[in-house]
Every structure is written in structure tokens, then in C-alpha cells.
Chain A
Amino acid sequence: MVIPSPSSPGRNIDVCLRLLNDELTQLWSSGALTYDIWSFDL
């Protein structure tokens, strides 16, 4: 993620991290189906 800003967003960076939080929460709870080429497995 890239946030354009001359100064640090400080505590308000949580506003930006919401995007990341949403995606990680989704990955933690339901995960994503991925093909593993090393073990030829899903």
C-alpha cells in the first residue's frame, strides 16, 4: 500500500489499514483456494 503524504499519517493510518484489515480478515476466516504446484494439491 502506498499513501502519498509529506508527513506521517500518525494514528489516522488506521483509516488506510482498513483495506488491509478487510482482506486479511477474509483470508483468516474463510481463506482462499490456491493451487500448490509443489505438492500438486489444492
Chain B
Amino acid sequence: MFTIKSDPELSEAGYDKIIEWARSILLEGNRLKENFYAAKSMIKPFGLRYQKFDMCLNFYMLYYLENAELTECMTCGHSRYKPRTGRGKTLVAYKELRYFPITPRLQRLFKSPRTAEHMTWHQSHHAVDGVMVHPSDSEAWKHFNNVHPHFSAESRNVRLGLCIDRFNPFGSFAAPYSCWSVILTVITCHRGCV
């Protein structure tokens, strides 16, 4: 159901309407969650949560661990929170970074038989001489195996690729609202797997 909602960018209200209709034609006692909020609460234990961290507006520091309680930047002195407006008590940070922990996501790959099978694909596939179909056929990959034999001995160890790009969450006309995403990709599987 989540795929149906996110692929055509269906709104939450639209999703709820469809669910309401689906529930009306289903038999009594069905276990379809009544709305998007309830469905989202159900998938929480799958480990797809993210964490939010405040950071300095000028990218000088992250309010994290030992600096979590500070209210202004140690380098540029910029305030962490926006000035309060009205009577609200909630402090709103100037810049908030969203971090998606990688460990539960990698663990999840091994929990599903469909993806777990592909996690060792890089070692079991047979490459044709002179043809590179995957980074594991490359010299760099083999060199890494020689340098870190302890790591390469376990084929289930995951290798990751890092890429950074800019995207705009609100369409191409909302230029001031762009975000920078840092994405880690698993490169131990064949392409089209993850």
C-alpha cells in the first residue's frame, strides 16, 4: 500500500479516501488499517526511522553528542534557534539535518530472502574474461581484497558507495528550498537489485 501511495505521489487525504472505500467493500473483521497514520505506525518496527540533528546555519558545527545542549555556534556565534514568534514555546532550529541510520537498513537487507540472496552475489557470479559487468571485476576491488583480507574473507560484508547530489523537494520552481542528499549505495549486489 505504501508503494501505491508513494509512486504516483498520492496525498495522505487521497490515500485515506481509497482505504475508506476499500474497507467498505471488505468483509467485517478485516485487518486493513483505517488510515495512513495507523499504517505508518505499523511499519515503525521495521527500522526505517530517521534522526534529526540541528546544525549551524553556516555549516560550522553539528549540535551532536558533546555539543547537543549548546544554543549558539562555537565558531561563528550564530544562534541555533529562530527567535520565538507569538506565544508558542517550541524552539525551531535554523537548520535541521535528517540522518537515516545505515545499520538497521543493512540488517534489513539480510532479513528478506529476496534481498539476502543477492548480498553475496559479487562473489558467486562468474565473470567473462576481459568484460566488466560489476565493480567486483575491477582491479580496485581486487586490490582492496588483498589489502584487507580479513574483510574480504566474509563475502557477506557489505561494501558501500557514497554519492552526493542536490535535489529540490518542492519542484523545479522553488529554488530556495533545495536540499543536498548524501546517499550510500550497496555495491555488493548486481544492478537492479536494490
Contact = CB atoms under 8 A, between A and B. Distances in A.
Interface of A: 1-6, 8-10, 12-13, 15-20, 23-24, 27, 32, 34-38
Contacts, number: 99
A37 B95 CA distance: 40
Nearest to B151: A28
A18 B64 contact: yes
Contacts of B107: 32, 34-35
B97 A35 contact: no
A10 B183 CA distance: 16
Given A13-B59, A16-B97, 18 more contacts: A4-B95, A4-B97, A5-B59, A8-B180, A12-B58, A12-B60, A13-B182, A15-B59, A15-B61, A15-B62, A16-B62, A18-B62, A19-B53, A20-B184, A23-B101, A34-B110, A35-B111, A36-B110
Interface residues of B, number: 42
